[in-house]
Every structure is written in C-alpha cells, then in structure tokens.
Amino acid sequence: MNRWSSPWRPASLTFGVVAALVANSASPVAQTAAPKVQSEYEAGWVNDALGMRHFSGLSCPNRLGDLTRTKVLAAARTRLAGCIYSSEQGLQIVVRQHAPDTGPVEAQRFAASYQAAGFAPVRLSGVSSQGITFRTGGTEERALLETFWHLKGRSSDYSLWISYTLPEHENLVEPAYMELRDQLARLK
C-alpha cells in the first residue's frame, strides 16, 4: 500500500486543513465577515408601558387594533427607526420614520426598485389608491400586493408598507392603515 492509499492519510490531511482554517479564523478578514447585529437597546429602543420607543420619537406599541408588533428596526440612511407588525390573518406591515422631507424620495425609490424588479404597478380603490401599489405575485384568483404610503408628520416623514393578498385581506387593509396613520398622528 502506498502512502496515498492509506485510510488514515485523508483524515490527517482533512484535520490539517480544518486546523489551519480554525487558526486563521482570528484574522481581521474572518472577524468582519459577519457584522455584529445590534440589539434593540443598542439601536436606540427602550421599553415603555405600551411597547417600545425609539430615541427619535417613534413609538411602536405592542398592539394596535388587530396588529401585533413583531420587531423593531434600527436606523439606516434617511430611515431613522421602524417597526414591523403582523396580523393573525397574514398582513405584514412595516412602519418607518424618515428624516424630514425625505418621504417623497423614499416613495420614488420604492417605485423605481419594484419596477426595476419587473413588478407591475396596479391601481386600486379605497385607501390603497392613496399609495403606490405593485402586484408581486399570486394567481388569477388571488393577488399578492404591496402598497407603500408616504406620510408627512410634524417633525418627521413616515412610510407605511403593507403586504397583503386580495381578496382575503380586502377588508383588513383600510383598518390597519387607519390605525397606524392615527398612531403616527399622535407623535410629536
């Protein structure tokens, strides 16, 4: 038997490669490959009596009508803070606070990126007609839609993005929008 046909040789080679990788995992490149994820508190959020509050002023209650807050979001670029809500019926909602007067740019960015991805814009009635809506999937009987609204606040701009399915969520979108719009109107 030559040295390469030994059943122990491949294992020792494998062990050597693994040992070299482990030894190099302390290198600066390996340490920056996966950035540290900020906790809610490091991202500027604190608990309050009804949910969570960001230092920028955005308040995300645990519950809003039929909606449950599932996550808070850190600031990024012109987005100051945000939170994600969902409903038991499957609505997914993202509320974002933006720097003042940046909402129209965020709305244009939303529309441009969805069009570039090949999604078709659609016109709907009701509260969805006040936003920018794209059909992102579904069948002839069932449409998966995403609508983005830009809202102007007293000291910040806000965006509201809802992912929903028609006809299942037809009667849920407007109450969810109104509940969140009213919550944002109460902010300073």
Q: Quick one: DSSP state of residue 118? A: T
Q: Are residues 110 and 59 in the same domain?
A: yes
Q: Are residues 157 and 106 in the same domain?
A: yes
State how far the Cα of 142 lies from the Cα of 149, in Å rounded to an integer.
Answer: 22
pLDDT band at 36; cut points 50, 70, 90: low
Q: For residue 26, give its domain range.
A: 1-35
- Does residue 40 lie in a domain region? no
Residue pLDDT, tens place only, 149-183:
999 888 889 999 999 999 999 899 999 999 888 88
Q: Are residues 54 and 144 in the same domain?
A: yes
pLDDT at 34: 47
pLDDT (0 to 100) of residue 184:
85
More confident residue, 49 or 133: 133
pLDDT attached to residue 188: 58
Looking at the structure, tell me whether residues 119 and 69 fall in a common domain.
yes
Identify which has the larger pLDDT, 64 or 114: 114
> pTM value?
0.74
Query: Does position 111 have pLDDT exceeding 90, yes or no?
Result: yes
The total domain count for the chain is 2
Query: In the numeric block, which tokens belong to residue 161?
Result: 């993005």
pLDDT at 119 over 90: yes
In this structure, the number of other CB atoms found within 10 A of the CB of residue 109 comes to 13
Residue 2 has pLDDT above 80, yes or no: no
pLDDT 10s digits, 60-110:
889 988 899 999 888 777 678 899 999 999 999 999 999 889 889 999 999
Q: Which residues contact 174 (CB under 8 A, 6 or more apart)?
A: 126, 127
Residue 131 is predicted with a pLDDT of 95
Q: Please indicate, yes or no, whether residues 63 and 28 belong to a single structural domain of this protein.
A: no
Would you place residue 26 in the very low, low, confident or very high pLDDT band (cuts 50, 70, 90)? very low
